[in-house]
Amino acid sequence: MKNFSDSTAVEREIEREFPPESTTPLYEVGDIFRAYGTNYMAAHPFNPVHAHIIQAIANCRTNALGAHVDQCDHCGHIEISYNSCRNYYCPKCQGSQRFKWVNARELELLPIQYFHFVFTLPHELISLARYNQRLMYDLLMQTSALTLQTFAQKKWDGKLGIIMALHTWGQTLNEHPHVHCIVTGGALKNDQSQFIQAPKNYLFSVQALSKVYREKYLAALKKAWESGLLIFPDSTMDKDIGWKTFIAPLYQHDWVVYAKKTCAKPEHLIRYVGRYINRVAISNSRINSIENGRISFNYHDNRDDTDKVMILPPQEFIRRFLTHVLPKGFRRIRYYGFFVNSQRKAKLTRCRQLLGMTQPEKPYIADMDHLLTNLSYDADSCPHCFQGTMQVIDCILPFHDPPQCYLEVA
């Protein structure tokens, strides 16, 4: 298992998978929605949720949402900023939330190893997941956590701390449901008498995890079918014979569970996985061009470890983007074991006591901070003199142009 020994190695890995948006991208998802969103909605059955997302992203940081005028309290520099849509699926509106999440998790770090596991949903279940998103993604997250906790219970008579984030997409915007898990390298015993640490660079066998994960997920899926909770794309599937024909092959092969590269310091893993938090299917920086009815964007092909370019018609690009919209209220980031929200403070306090910690360690600060920000994270400091603070002095109504007096000095 490869080990990240320094932050530079982590930076290279992050930049390869998630290019930082430190400069203004030439093209944006919003450009695609502005140019082709209306035609897409006209050609497909009306979906109010999808229509709202398309409209919000299309309007983001345009005069359709209005603007605000900021002025430096030191040098008087003025900047005009168009307002953000704050939509959960907007590529420009999640950077600051990601930054805050990473800093909060660093405050909770224990002086132990942390591991990064990924549990995937088999390709054969993707069509069923389209019709049962909430149920099947709930099962994916619950059974992944239960699998890890089953091994911890058997090995140490205790519980792990698990942070889990659901992703439903692959690099080409295709459907690829999987969860990323940050897992503590050890467990708090059930009676809270001891914190037992795992051996260095090893937690559990991924082959063993795969088999248990398969059994637990299929058992839960069968129970949902018996309870009549599943909706099938094929109306004949809900019959007994059709169900057996559908489910039997899923027992014949191991499901995909793998351990990502370990990091020398847990802070690096938090920052690495932090790139997966509050993300949407594609970042603006990956879009190369929007012309002649074709959308071109970069992607990384894991099969041969090379960077490639994909070209899609606008209608297909938008369709793929919208397949990753989750049911309203679905929690894509979840916590298990002694990280569960209702017990986290007390359990972490006990873990620190057992590990000889008196206070939480301070947040890890490194030059990697710029990788965790994008255009939606606005610093308060003046970009002109770097001494003053930008303060709002005026607001501009939607669909109104900024007054000429501001344009002359901005």
User: Could you read off the pLDDT of 63-85 as tens digits, one per residue?
Assistant: 999 999 999 998 999 988 899 89
Q: Is residue 314 part of a domain?
A: no
Mean pLDDT of 257-279: 76
Q: Both 68 and 96 in a single domain?
A: no
State whether 106 and 153 are in the same domain.
Answer: yes
Per the structure, the complete domain to which residue 394 belongs is given by 29-89+380-410
- Into how many domains does the chain fold? 2
Q: Are residues 270 and 300 in the same domain?
A: yes
Give the phi and the psi of residue 172 in degrees, each rounded to 5. Answer: -100, 15
Span 6-12, average pLDDT = 44
Are both 130 and 234 inside the same structural domain?
Answer: yes
Establish if 181 belongs to a structural domain.
Answer: yes
pLDDT bracket for residue 101 (50, 70, 90): confident
Q: What pLDDT sits at residue 268?
A: 78
More confident residue, 363 or 237: 237
Distance between terminal CA atoms of the chain? 52
Same domain, 64 and 201: no
Instruction: Using the predicted structure, report yes or no on whether residue 342 has a pLDDT greater than 60.
Output: yes
pLDDT at 55 exceeding the cut of 90: yes
Q: 213 and 74 in one domain?
A: no
* Structural domain includes residue 120: yes
Residue 172: the pLDDT is 94
What whole-number percentage of the chain has pLDDT above 90? Answer: 54
- pLDDT band of residue 377 (cuts 50, 70, 90) is very low
Confidence of residue 368 (pLDDT cuts 50, 70, 90): very low
Beta partners for residue 336, in sequence order: 162
Same domain, 194 and 297: yes
* pLDDT (0 to 100) of residue 175: 94
244 shares a domain with 232: yes
pLDDT band at 407 (very low <50, low <70, confident <90, very high): confident
Q: What does each C-alpha distance from 185 to 161, 193, 239, 393 come to in angstroms? A: 9, 17, 44, 50
**95 shares its domain with 67:** no
Give the per-residue pLDDT at 278: 67
209 in any annotated domain: yes
- In a domain, residue 165? The reply is yes
Q: How confident is the model at residue 295 (pLDDT cuts 50, 70, 90)?
A: very high
Please check whether residue 352 lies inside any domain of the structure: yes
Q: Is residue 176 part of a domain?
A: yes
User: Does one domain contain both 72 and 107?
Assistant: no
- The per-residue pLDDT for 410 is 62
Looking at the structure, tell me whether residues 131 and 261 fall in a common domain.
Answer: yes
Same domain, 220 and 83: no
pLDDT band at 40 (very low <50, low <70, confident <90, very high): very high
Query: What pLDDT sits at residue 276?
Result: 66
pLDDT > 80? residue 308: yes
